[in-house]
Amino acid sequence: MLSRLLLILLVLPLASGAQDLTKAIHEQAAAILPQVIEWRRYLHQHPELSDREVKTAQFIVEHLQQLGLDIHTEVGGHGVVAILRGKKQGPVIALRADIDALPITERVDLPFASHDSTQFNGQTVGVMHACGHDSHTAMLLGAATILSSMRDKLAGTVVFLFQPCEEGAPAGMPGGAMRMISQGALDDPKVDVVFGLHIISNIPIGTLEYKQGSIMASADQFDIHIKGKGSHGSQPWLGIDPIVVSAQIIMGLQTIVSRQEDITKAPVVISVGSVHAGNRFNIIPETADLVGTIRTLEPAMQKDVQERIKRTATSIAAASGATADVSIDTKTLVTYNDSALTAQMAPSLQKAAGADHVHVTKALMGAEDFSYYGQKAPSMFFFLGGMPAGADPAKAPAHHTADFYIDDSRLDVGVMAFCQLVFDYERLHPVK
């Protein structure tokens, strides 16, 4: 199927002018859209959890092999890196898609819904692409197909990054982006710039959104282990109640947001997601454990909040005669769009979606390990709308839920954006 599709793309007319090139990208994206949708739906029906993306990687490689690319497998786990070298010298541009799914049982009634299940954290769970990574993978496969058919027009090299393990690595292991980087995914050839996108369920279909600077938050996990002194529930004065101390710490953490950080500069979120203590109604336990997340949009604020959490928890515990041991694990950095690069490349998004369908957005407090690519090269991350036309954004099913849903009929917009960014960046940054 792909070979036939590639042949169709190769015979579509290609002109040399910038406007004609954009027209050719639109024509090829329209031609490949049915295949992109088919890929996305297959991947949606066959999801795999983080660090288990064996069949997903095989599926990706199977299609890339037909394009004549230099393919590297098992990069950062089950990641795939494919390299397309143009006919002329030029910059090296990386395009990234994440490929993993989530431990969620799908509730959406679709003919291609996932019915898979697996073992995760000792439980039997469903597996679902509840964040759109299936669509990201399909769009990058589409872009690879089109750019391969236009190889003669390329003045540079394109590195396609199919990244595993974005949703969360196993305990004690780094995430997929860090692992791919550590294994040289951006080094041979050395990447000059990285672009990535994320589909969003409450943005109108076919719309592209972007912003300069911080576009997604950092994410830290904090664990607070509180040790008090156990006692009978009828005699709390004989013990040191870690549950009461936990409650005081939880409330104290919220004053970091409301009273200690300058939220006129950037928002901060501190959420406790897990509280565990005790096992019987009349026993005051000896210990309690809190687990939560920190979200910030400024690197300096991220460090400051970490220190304030440690000080708040330990001080509150000490005031009651208890102890609090605080550990903080940084999961991602702030996803930061290089300001000069973003301003320069925004017109490429307008060429892909039309000026009326491209908007500057506000930052999201969700997090992305795409942020680590930006530590190695200038980067730009943007959003693609997947909400059905006429739907209410306030009622759109949230990401990471059993009801998550996107309309995949305009995935061609993401494909076009990837391709347009490549050609425009090459034109703006020729090799001298």
> Does residue 98 have an active-site annotation?
no
100 is a catalytic site residue: yes
Which secondary structure element, helix H or strand E, spans residue 88, and what is its range? strand 88-98
Q: How far apart are CA 369 and CA 94, in angstroms?
A: 15
d(CA 79, CA 70): 14
Catalytic residue among 100, 209, 241, 369: 100
Q: Are 122 and 396 in contact (CB under 8 A)?
A: no
Label the pairing between strands 208-210 and 379-387.
antiparallel
DSSP 140-185: HHHHHHHHHHTGGG-EEEEEEEEE---S-PPTTS--HHHHHHHTTT
Please report how many Cα atoms fall inside a 13 Å half-sphere around the Cα of residue 33, on the Cβ side: 15
3-state DSSP percent of the chain in helix, strand and coil, to 5: 40, 30, 30
Of 48, 51, 134, 166, the active-site residue reads: 166
First to last CA, the chain: 40
The Cα-based distances of 56 to 134, 163, 233 in angstroms read: 10, 11, 53
* 100 Rama class: left (phi>0) / alpha (psi -120 to 50) / beta: beta
Distance in angstroms (rounded) separating the CA atoms of residues 184 and 377:
13
- Annotated catalytic residues are 100, 166
